[in-house]
Amino acid sequence: MTALAGKTALVTGGSRGIGAAIALDLARAGADVALTYTTSPDRAQAVAQQIEALGRRALAIRADSADADAVTAAIDQTAAALGRLDILVNNAGIVTDADTPENIERVLAVNSRAPYVAALAAARHMGDGGRIVTIGSCLGEAVRFPGITLYSMSKAAMTGMTRGLARDLGPRGITVNVVQPGPIDTDMNPADGADAGSQRALTALGRYGRPEEIAAVVTFLAGPGGSYVTGAQIAVDGGTNA
């Protein structure tokens, strides 16, 4: 696959799960890929090595998405080291089970502020054909069970951001979209976890999704086929919100 040949991408939170799957799928499509991580350098380097094994350039950058300056620096470092930036995937995200002031601040910083800061920084490097894709959540559209208000609020903000940036950046030929996953089998939400049965029951397909199924949609949006898609919310949730 060479649909993204000559392109450079940055995937935040790309050391594992959905982010790692996206980084590798973009590389298979021809892109050079940078990825950020916070606490897993070994895993980040392992993903980078897999990208390089595909014949692409790779860069692993330590950057805590709760730190706005670190987010901006990661964007600028990617463009400087790899020569350009065409694709930004805002994937990094966290969830908490306690609404302490510290947790509220961090969840909103990582899930809501960081994607906006990253998008603004990335847009300064992008030209016509630039792509910004944010990984939201089906829980940002419909809250199916109690106890997730903070997470849902932080992800719901991505819809407004996406629509606004699509208008702001459209005249420059940059598309902006949000992908809304349902339950996906990752370390953060394993298909054999304590509440997996209830999440699976909410889907129309009766199963968890795979990270690769999210990655495929992101790669489509990043490529030529996604050139007329912008300001869109794309559900990849197995029918959770059908």
242 assigned to some structural domain: no
When divided into structural domains, the chain yields a total of 1
- Amino acid identity, position 74: A
pLDDT at res. 226: 98
CATH number of the domain where residue 60 is located:
3.40.50.720
Query: pLDDT for 169-199, tens place per residue?
Result: 999 999 999 999 999 999 989 999 998 999 9
Q: From CA 161, how far away is CA 76, in angstroms rounded?
A: 21
In order of 157, 164, 165, 207, 235, the CA distances from 183 in angstroms are 19, 27, 27, 8, 11
Is 3 within the bounds of a domain? no
pLDDT at 97: 85
Instruction: Kindly state the helix (H) or strand (E) to which residue 149 belongs, with its residue range.
Output: helix 149-169
Is 206 within the bounds of a domain? yes
State if pTM tops 0.95: yes
158 lies in some domain:
yes
Q: Is residue 12 part of a domain?
A: yes
Mean pLDDT across the chain:
97
Q: Which of 37, 116, 151, 208 is catalytic?
A: 151
- The verdict on whether 37 is a catalytic residue reads no
Q: What is the pLDDT of residue 241?
A: 97
Whether 215 and 87 have beta carbons less than 8 Å apart is answered as no
Distance CA(181)–CA(48), nearest Å, equals 24
- Asked, for residue 2, whether it belongs to a domain, the answer is no
All residue ranges of the chain with pLDDT < 70 are 1
pLDDT at 108: 98
Q: Say if 82 falls within a structural domain.
A: yes
The verdict on residue 87 lying in a domain is yes
Instruction: Please give the residue range of the domain that contains residue 218.
Output: 8-236
- b/e sequence 37-65, b meaning 16+ C-beta within 10 Å: bbebeebbeebbebbeeeebbbbbbebbb
